[in-house]
Amino acid sequence: MITLQHITTSARMEEYHRFRHRIYRNSVQAGFLSDESGVDRDAYDANAIHLGWYAGEELRGCVRFIRPISGPQPLYCLTHMPVEAARQVCTLMSSYLEQGLPFVEVSRICIDPAYRDLATVKEFTLTIMAMSHVLGLDQAVFTCLRPHMPFWRRMGFSILGGAEGFSCTRSLERSYAMMYRHAELPLAIREQLPTREDRIRNMEKAA
């Protein structure tokens, strides 16, 4: 069974940062890496929840949930957005924070190439959604490339108006800001989450 787990030990954290670098380096998103050190770290990592997708003890995927940091670019996605798209993301973020609701950016979604068949990617996505609900993080934003957008739409995510089809300032790829709201997920998606949430809770109790 593949499980999504919090990354807490120094050894696993180092493995995770190297995994991120390897996946990005061998993709169209290589331009997002700051250097060729073999380790992908940035200023947003200190304020993020880091999760690894493990097949036994082998890291096969990862994701991070970034809480907004202080500064002019509180979310990582703002570092590579044009002005209007960034403004829409900031407005969305502020609307939740002003209501006292938690809000995160879902970032650095990486999957080992051997695990990218549609069924496995869907399972990874559902598990991420289940974990976010367990953590009480029911509002989020993230960016995706144009070819991936239809998949995210089918999974219940919506496009943020004013931040659709923008040209990423790093890769120049056509990109979309996607919104996640647990309360607005289609019933067919939401019904698939409770069993995964229970699995996560049971695993964390046993840890």
Structural domain contains residue 9: yes
Residues 138, 82: Cα–Cα separation, whole Å = 26
Nearest CA-CA partner of 20 in 48, 3, 2, 1: 48
pLDDT at site 160? 98
- Total domains, the chain: 1
Q: Which domain CATH number covers 57? A: 3.40.630.30
Q: What is the C-alpha to C-alpha distance for residues 20 and 112, in angstroms, rounded to an integer?
A: 10
pLDDT at 197 over 70: yes
- Whether 201 maps to a domain, the answer reads no
Q: Averaged over 58-63, what is the pLDDT?
A: 98
**Contact criterion met (CB below 8 Å) for 52 and 62:** yes
Q: What is the pLDDT of residues 96-126, one digit of tens each?
A: 999 999 999 999 999 999 999 999 999 999 9
Q: Does some domain include residue 145?
A: yes
CB 64 within 8 A of CB 43: no
Q: Is residue 143 part of a domain?
A: yes
* 202, part of any domain: no
For the ranges 11-20, 29-38, 58-67, the lowest mean pLDDT is seen at: 29-38
Residue given tokens 């993709």 in the structure block: 27
pLDDT per residue as tens digits for the range 137-181: 999 999 999 999 999 999 999 999 999 999 999 888 999 999 999
The structure tokens listed for 186 are 């289609």
Q: Which range marks the domain in which residue 144 is found?
A: 2-196
- The answer to whether position 19 is within a domain reads yes
Which pLDDT band holds residue 30 (cuts at 50, 70, 90)?
low
Residue 171 tokens read as: 């890769």
